[in-house]
Amino acid sequence: MKQFFFDERTRKALKIMAMPFQYKVCAGCDSIVAERVNSCPNCHGYRFYEDGDSVISQARVLASRPQQSVTAEDLHK
């Protein structure tokens, strides 16, 4: 039996794609954020794409490439 090993971004994308209704995509920076937030923690934008198809599409894009954005965690390392 084959075993597949996924990197952290792929694991997160799979989790998001399994429950897209719990997430939304920031219209300012294309980050995927929790559905409950009112502003993006990365760019402080307040406009979002909330439909499941947009979330799934963006999760696929983000899983297929290395991280390019700077996050709050990066600033405190």
For 35-53, the pLDDT digits (tens) are 999 999 989 999 999 999 9
Weakest mean pLDDT among 7-11, 40-44, 50-54, 66-70? 66-70
Confidence label for 56 from pLDDT (cuts 50, 70 and 90): very high
Distance in angstroms (rounded) separating the CA atoms of residues 58 and 13: 9
Average pLDDT over residues 47-60: 96
Of the candidates 23, 18, 15, the one whose C-alpha atom is nearest the C-alpha of residue 50 is 23
In contact, 27 and 69? CB cutoff 8 Å: no
Of the candidates 24, 53, 61, 19, the one whose C-alpha atom is nearest the C-alpha of residue 41 is 24
Q: pLDDT at position 63, please?
A: 86
Q: pLDDT at position 77, please?
A: 64
In contact, 33 and 41? CB cutoff 8 Å: yes
pTM for the complete prediction? 0.78
